[in-house]
Amino acid sequence: MMRRLVLWTAALLGLCSAGAYPPDVVDKLAEASLPKLKDYLAKNPQGSCTLETAVRRKEWSDLSVKERKEYTDAVLCLQSKPALTTSQAPGAKSRFDDYVVIHILQTPRNHGSDPANSPLFDGSEGSMGGNGAKVAHQGIPIPGAPSPYNVIPPGDGGGCVTTGPFKNMTINVGPIAPTIQVPRNPRSDGLGYNPRCLRRDINKHAAAVTTANYTYDLITSNSDVYWFQTVMEGQFAQGKWGVHAGGHYTISGDPAGDFFVSPGDPAFWLHHAMIDRVWWIWQLQDLDRRLAEVSMTRTMNNMPPSPNGTLDDPSGLGVLAPDVPVRELMSTMGGLGGKFCYIYE
């Protein structure tokens, strides 16, 4: 839900363009599900938010290089504005860091092919930056998983990102749970100032469990939100990393391999826009029920024990956004008093 409120920054541009990748099974399912959204909106009109007026969020490779640069320029702009969270997090230096800090504070509460050559990570000016420089490092341990799923083998990077729009980027806060060797934060809560380069380790082993067939299976085989969420987030004890964790570890490095600080890598936001899209396609299958369905308790893995989450719970995004109840964030079409009006194409 947090993802839906803050990810509107990812929703930039309209205008169709020819797809760089042929439609996969998930794309086809999304397209085939749109009539359901149309029927739902006919019965439940959302004011000025219609399928015609909705913003269309697009796959990175379907954007022109100019459009992609507009996106990364917007991220660089956030990184040039002063932070609002400095009283809590002296390490926060920019508005971009505010998102990282709120994610760190919220963490206990919430929660294919060779990707290094993709238009997302090929290091060109129209990418989100390239892989990190190659450094020797360990894989990522997955505690509790049976062998061979108890470790994600390392990729070919691990060092500083030296290409693309974020090659000069400074990571300011964290680490908290690093999966790669980086300087420690001066504060135990990770919110102190710890300037360092953006590191990545684009990982094909993690990406292999996020391919379209896994996503299709996730959407179509889990009709209950508890199972949808559980399978998406990964069933580590069964050796299943899940498309959510798989996407995080596809980026890896620092901070994206860090459970708490991962939004500090601009690529995090694209992964979470995809998570939002998968949730949206899942909701489309039964809008009457799924627009109002939440599960799990208010604490991660119910530690410490807490009541079940409800639609009335506050979203609690601090300086980032008004503290609206979760129910405002459930629909992309008319949520947040009509401020949410987008679909994915």
Residues near ligand NAG, by CB under 6 A: 165, 167-168, 211, 213-214, 217, 295, 308
Find the helix or strand (DSSP H, E) in which 107 lies: none
Write down the least CB distance from residue 169 to ligand NAG, Å.
Answer: 8
Write down the least CB distance from residue 129 to ligand NAG, Å.
Answer: 9
Write down the least CB distance from residue 325 to ligand NAG, Å.
Answer: 18
Cα–Cα distance, 189 to 305 (Å, whole number)? 22
Q: Any long-range contacts for 236-242 (C-beta under 8 Å, 24+ apart)?
A: 236/142, 236/143, 236/144, 236/145, 236/149, 237/144, 237/145, 237/146, 238/145, 238/146, 239/145, 239/146, 239/149, 239/150, 240/149, 240/209, 241/142, 241/145, 241/149, 241/152, 241/206, 241/209, 242/209
Residues 6+ apart with CB under 8 A from 159: 132, 133, 134, 135, 199
How big is the CA angle at 228 (ends 223 and 234), to the nearest 5 degrees?
Answer: 150
Pick 167 or 196: Cβ nearer ligand NAG: 167
Pick 165 or 334: Cβ nearer ligand NAG: 165
Pick 123 or 318: Cβ nearer ligand NAG: 123
Write down the least CB distance from residue 120 to ligand NAG, Å.
Answer: 17
Write down the least CB distance from residue 229 to ligand NAG, Å.
Answer: 11
Pick 214 or 340: Cβ nearer ligand NAG: 214
Pick 119 or 242: Cβ nearer ligand NAG: 242
Pick 207 or 273: Cβ nearer ligand NAG: 207
Find the helix or strand (DSSP H, E) in which 75 lies: helix 65-78
Write down the least CB distance from residue 157 to ligand NAG, Å.
Answer: 18
CB 262 within 8 A of CB 269: no
